[in-house]
Amino acid sequence: MGGGVVAAVAAPAAQAEAAPRQAVELADGWRFRFGDESGAVTGPGFDDSGWDQVSVPHTWNRIGGYGLERGPETNNKQGIGWYRLMVDAPAAAAGMRQYLDFAAVAKIADVWVNGQHVGTHKGGFARFRFDVTDVWKPGQPNLIVVKADNSKPEPDNASGQVLPLSGDFFVEGGIYRPVHLLQLPAASIDPLDYGGPGVYVRAAEITDAQAVVDVRTRLRNQGAARDLKLTTQIADASGKVVAQAVQPVHLAPGAAEMAARLTVPHPHRWNGRADPYLYSVTATLSGDGKVLDQVTQPLGLRTFRFDADAGFFLNGRHVKLHGVSRHQDWLGSGWALTDAQHERDMELIEELGANTVRQAHYQHADKWTELADKAGMVVWAELPYVTTPSLSGGKGSDSLWANADQQLREQIRQNYNHPSIMMWSVGNEVNAARGFGVKGKLPQSLPLLQHLNATAKQEDPDRPTAFADCCEGVGMMKTSGEKLAGTTDLIGYNRYYGWYYPKPLEVRAQLGVMLDKMHGAHPDIPISITEYGAGGAVTQHSDDVKSGFVNFVGRPHPEEYEAWLHEQSWPVINARDFVFASWVWNMFDFASDLRDEGDSVDLNDKGLVTADRKVKKDAFWYYKVAWSDAPAVHFAGKHYVDRSYPVMTVKAYANSPKARLTMGSKVVGEADCTDDVCEWRDVPLAPGPNKAVVTTVGGKESLTDTATWNGPDPQKGIRIDVGSLGTRDLDGHRYGSDTFVTGGTPTVLNLVGFGGRSLRPHRDVETANPQLFEYWREGESFSYGIPVPDGNWTVTLHMFEPDPKASDQQALTVTANGTPVIEGLNVQKAAGGPLKEVVRSFPVTVSGGVLKLDFASVGGKASLAAIEVTK
């Protein structure tokens, strides 16, 4: 389908340089307390001297940390937080109006001024303003009290009627974006239009010769009728006025709208990352020779369209959109971000080479979208209709629908003018209620999705609508069976092949089959991949990502596996032009109290960068190379310094045909760089530091990168945590991840889901080392070829029987280098029952540098938890 031609403008926040609009930031001097308070809390006589002193932006929540247990700084309390501020108000001329401007309060806000309730706002992500003139005292002290409520949604509480109702992210409470006092004359550009700027711009036509720009300016008069003048100007990036319209306005009491059409000759287009050129639009309302109000907004002129077969086109040129999703939290700051933190996020996304950002799963800060405009990012903007429309079944209540409609109108009006935004997403995984523990009758998600699609079209006919689907064709989650595809103009698929789904090692084939199938099933709908990825912990590592059990909600989450999954996924997406965009999930690790996984608590660890923005994971570097137009090279695995085995697979990312590896003074050789990945297998490591150098070969220029890996002393033994995807340190010894293996199947003792919900009955193994039995390998036959120096060794096997119904006829035979060392062992009998450890040791003599262990079982499967090879 074709996207409309839109002229977009940037953020709706008041511009300080565009005086005379007066905006006083109310940042300091607030008092805060979490918890219930008496009704007296809203009055001036209440004693808040014992409350915390805070500055706004502020949130009381602190969620997420790197470690295996929650730290003392954690605060995941949900409920009511109270804020009080005494303001020494500036003086105001007669007839001036006062407005309180809140950039966002989560999730429900009630506001009192001088003891009088002035309004309620429901929704944690949009700007809202209250006219407080009737209770405000210019030039005197004024008391502002705010109640912020982020209570966990329940069917019978207020939060249960406000989006979002559920989701894999934590809704933090507080006044987490800035607050301002606005002073405006009685006649002004409307500040009460769903929190929008009051000035709305679109391009009716864009050619090389001219751009025809329509500007709608909404006015509000709270005084007597007046004859005024509205001047609308468009200026280029240097500030030169290139178009102007002057209109007389007879402004009666109430609201009015003025329309102006301006022509920009030879327009300079906003052209994404290549050239994000911005004009500005200024609307000035004046009367009696004085400027009454003025609003300035950036303007980007561009055309775009989406084609179901050919993808996305910007200004007539095909652009493959590749980028990331982003949540708005930082470790330690939560949602209360500074401008500098927003800027750092955009810097990292630009460094990555992305050209698009998905705003997950709600309206983001004005500052963030301004940065997207200036960076040339194409933005998928999203409404927080997430997971379900109801916690008790059905299509959702009338009040929930009204709130959803309100939040969507706020989002569109407040962001209408951003050139970066090119689609309005009206939902994410809206039929995923079962996956998030919503019980009872399955909700009906389609009616609200249809309603919101219609609302978005009403608000903005030019931009296409979209939603992100979790479940079509997957079959892993029970839904109401509604057919959601086709409701919106565009669709995104959240698909986690290689992670949540069976047969993770088949990610390339599964992802490709799904994309082709969805394109065939919906040939007229442009499709995208709105989420894909895997967990990645920079302190957890794997020696072989293809051998261990992939524990998608748990531990370990090796950094190497996350990178491998992206290496498999991106070439599949890139090869299909009909996939108009893809967004990695996620740019940064982010807060979710449903998560206890990887090397963190209360964090979803699928980020390409850690939540504190300090560490770029291997997957970050993969995309930086793959998405770069310039020559690039980077070693993977730099964080895995202390290696478990005397051999390793060395991997580098390079966008050259070949690369050459040198270890120390020895040239290992050249490797092909297929899909930007170059690998050297079975590279020996000397004990101690091994300096590696990779050099690109055959590209436009020769580039190098270096890494140092510490090899173990193999004479001190080799240990394998069988079945595990990651390494483990236990009793002073390093156990490497499961590798050197052929056959069998890795499995896990206990598997949990979101929020710690058990996916299987809990089991414990009677053993002195229970950690070694969290994973194991089972099968009727499997083999290990372990690199072991020549000499005499002792092999110790840690085994058990996991199945209480196992046959007492099961018999295991083990051979070492072809010689039987264990014959006819029934593990369950030897242990005295299932889920009890059996240890067997035997001597071996190794020659040729490889220890070959073969496991064969009849009458049942062999189950092996660990191997130790020691002197």
Residue 518 region by backbone torsions, left for phi larger than 0, else alpha for psi between -120 and 50, else beta = alpha
How far is the C-alpha of 791 from the C-alpha of 793, rounded, in Å?
6
What are the distances in angstroms from CA 544 to CA 329, 475, 559, 635, 725?
Answer: 33, 30, 11, 17, 7
Q: Which two tokens stand for residue 79?
A: 């409920």
How far is the C-alpha of 93 from the C-alpha of 372, rounded, in Å?
38
Alpha helices in 607-693 (DSSP H): 618-626
Q: Which residue has the tokens 């109702």?
A: 165
Alpha helices in 804-864 (DSSP H): 827-831
**β 179-184/22-25 pair status:** antiparallel
Report yes or no: 339 and 366 within 8 Å, Cβ to Cβ: no
Report yes or no: 636 and 671 within 8 Å, Cβ to Cβ: no
How far is the C-alpha of 671 from the C-alpha of 32, rounded, in Å?
60
Report yes or no: 395 and 389 within 8 Å, Cβ to Cβ: yes
Report yes or no: 603 and 56 within 8 Å, Cβ to Cβ: no
Report yes or no: 83 and 145 within 8 Å, Cβ to Cβ: yes
Report yes or no: 732 and 691 within 8 Å, Cβ to Cβ: no
How far is the C-alpha of 689 from the C-alpha of 712, rounded, in Å?
9
Q: Considering just the CA atoms, what is the radius of gyration of the chain in Å?
A: 31
> With 0-12 CB in 10 A as exposed, 13-18 as middle and 19+ as buried, what is 76?
middle
Cis omega before residue 586 (within 30°)?
yes
Q: What is the DSSP string of 180-248?
A: EEEEE-SEEE-S-STT--SEEEEEEEE-SSEEEEEEEEEEEE-SS-EEEEEEEEEE-TTS-EEEEEEEE
Question: Of residues 370, 429, 801, 837, which has the active-site annotation?
Answer: 429
Report yes or no: 687 and 836 within 8 Å, Cβ to Cβ: no
Q: Nearest to residue 312, comparing CAs of 726, 637, 2? A: 2
Please give the backbone phi and psi of residue 79, each rounded to the nearest 5 degrees, phi first. 160, -140
Please give the backbone phi and psi of residue 673, each rounded to the nearest 5 degrees, phi first. -105, 85
Asked whether the CA dihedral 783, 786, 791, 792 is positive or negative, the reply is negative
Q: Is 491 helix (H, G, I), strand (E, B) or coil?
A: strand
> With 0-12 CB in 10 A as exposed, 13-18 as middle and 19+ as buried, what is 58?
buried
Report the run of H or E that residue 757 belongs to, with start and end: none
CA 129 to chain centre: 29
Q: Nearest to residue 530, comparing CAs of 500, 483, 495? A: 495
**β 465-469/6-9 pair status:** unpaired
Q: Nearest to residue 659, comparing CAs of 691, 633, 683, 622? A: 633
> With 0-12 CB in 10 A as exposed, 13-18 as middle and 19+ as buried, what is 208?
exposed
Question: Quick check: is 429 catalytic?
Answer: yes
Q: Which two tokens stand for residue 308?
A: 């179901």
Longest CA span, the chain: 104
Return the axis-axis angle of helices 507-521 and 559-574, rounded to nearest 10°.
40
Query: Residue type at 551?
Result: N
Query: Residue type at 239?
Result: G
What are the distances in angstroms from CA 361 to CA 165, 169, 319, 608, 632?
Answer: 12, 9, 24, 18, 33
Q: Is 215 helix (H, G, I), strand (E, B) or coil?
A: strand
Catalytic residues: 429
